[in-house]
Amino acid sequence: MLMSKPVIELDSVTKMYGISVGTVDISVDVKKGSVYGFLGPNGAGKTTTISMMIGLLRPTAGHIRVLGFDAAEESIEVRKRVGFLAGDMALDKRLTGWQQLEYFGRLRGDYNKGYVAELAERLQCDLSRKFKHLSRGNRQKVGLIAALMHQPELLILDEPTSGLDPLIQAEFNKLILEHKARGGTTFISSHVLSEVQELCDEMAFIRSGKLVAVKRIEELALETPKHFVIDTKDTKLGIALEEIDGVVLSESKKSKLRGSFRGDINVFLKVVVAHGVEDISIDDSDLESTFMTYYSSGGQGTLVDAGTGPDSPDRQSRPKNQGMSADVGTRPVSTDAPGARTDFSSTDSRNVPSPKQATTTSKKTKKGATRA
Amino acid sequence: MLSSIFTKTLYEKRWGLLWWSVAMAAFTVMIVLAFPIFQDAFGEQMDAIPESLRSIVGEANDYQRVEGYLELQVFMQMVFLTFIYGIILFTGLLAGEENDGTLQSLLAQPISRTKVYLQKLAAGATLLGILSIVMLLSTWAGLAIIDEGTSAIRLLGATFAQWLVGMVFALLAYMIGAVSGRKGIAGALAGVYAFLGYIVTSLAATVTVLEYPNYLSPFRYFNNTKMLDQGLQAGNIAVLLLACLVFSIVGWLVFRNRDIQQ
Q: Which residues of B touch A86 (CB under 8 A)?
A: 101, 104-105, 108, 262
Identify the pLDDT of residue A217.
79
Mean of the per-residue pLDDT values for chain A?
77
Question: Which residues of chain B register pLDDT less than 50?
Answer: none
Asked if residue A204 has pLDDT above 70, the reply is yes
A353–chain B nearest CA distance, Å: 27
Asked if residue A24 has pLDDT above 90, the reply is yes
- CA–CA distance, B65 with B257 (Å, rounded to integer): 53
Least confident of A123-132, A176-185, A190-199, B50-59: B50-59
DSSP secondary structure code for residue B262 in this structure: -
SS3 B21: helix
Q: Do B262 and A103 make contact, defined as CB atoms within 8 angstroms?
A: no
Q: What is the mean predicted confidence (pLDDT) over A103-114?
A: 90
Go through A289-307 and write b for each residue having 16 or more CB atoms within 10 A of its CB, e for each that does not. bbbbbbbbbebeeebbbbb
Q: Do A89 and B261 make contact, defined as CB atoms within 8 angstroms?
A: no
Q: What digits encode the pLDDT tens for the residues A249-283?
A: 888 777 888 888 887 778 888 888 888 888 888 87
Q: Which residues of B touch A54 (CB under 8 A)?
A: 108
Alpha helices in chain B (DSSP H): 5-12, 14-33, 35-41, 51-57, 66-69, 76-91, 97-100, 102-107, 113-145, 152-180, 183-204, 227-230, 234-255
Q: Do B108 and A76 make contact, defined as CB atoms within 8 angstroms?
A: no
- CA–CA distance, A313 with A320 (Å, rounded to integer): 15
Q: How far is CA A5 from the centre of its chain?
A: 22
What confidence tier does A247 reach under pLDDT thresholds 50, 70, 90?
confident
Contact B74, B28 (CB under 8 A): yes
Q: Which of A56, A58, A106 sits opposite B262 (nearest CB)?
A: A56
**Chains A–B, number of C-beta pairs less than 8 Å apart:** 67
Q: Which of B12, B257, B259 sits opposite A94 (nearest CB)?
A: B12
Asked if residue A124 has pLDDT above 60, the reply is yes
Identify the residue among A50, A92, A100, A150 best suited for mutation to test binding to B, counting B beta carbons within 10 A and taking the highest: A92
Q: Do A56 and B107 make contact, defined as CB atoms within 8 angstroms?
A: yes
Q: What digits encode the pLDDT tens for the residues A30-43?
A: 999 999 999 888 88
- CA–CA distance, A291 with A224 (Å, rounded to integer): 9
pTM exceeds 0.95 for this model: no
Q: What digits encode the pLDDT tens for the residues B174-191?
A: 999 999 999 999 999 999
A350–chain B nearest CA distance, Å: 22
Percent of chain A at pLDDT exceeding 70: 75
- CA–CA distance, B248 with B228 (Å, rounded to integer): 29
The conformational region for residue A29 under phi > 0 = left, psi -120 to 50 = alpha, else beta, is beta
Would strands A279-282 and A226-231 be described as parallel, antiparallel, or unpaired? antiparallel
Where do the domains of chain B lie? 5-34+74-255
* Chain A residue closest in CA terms to B2: A103
Q: Do A84 and B108 make contact, defined as CB atoms within 8 angstroms?
A: yes
Which residues does B37 contact at the CB level (< 8 Å), separation at least 6? none
Q: Do A86 and B4 make contact, defined as CB atoms within 8 angstroms?
A: no
- Complex ipTM, two decimals? 0.85
Go through B12-42 and write b for each residue having 16 or more CB atoms within 10 A of its CB, e for each that does not. bbeeebeebbeebbebbbebbeebeeebeeb
The strands making up A247-253's β-sheet, listed across from edge to edge, are A247-253, A256-261, A226-231, A279-282
Identify the pLDDT of residue A330.
31
* Chain A residue closest in CA terms to B260: A56
Q: Which residues of B touch A90 (CB under 8 A)?
A: 100-102, 104-105
Identify the pLDDT of residue A33.
93
Identify the pLDDT of residue A227.
83
Least confident of A85-89, A301-305, B107-111: A301-305
- CA–CA distance, B83 with A165 (Å, rounded to integer): 48
DSSP B22-87: HHHHHHHHHHHHTHHHHHHHSSGGGGGS-HHHHHHH--GGGGGSHHHHIIIIIIHHHHHHHHHHHH
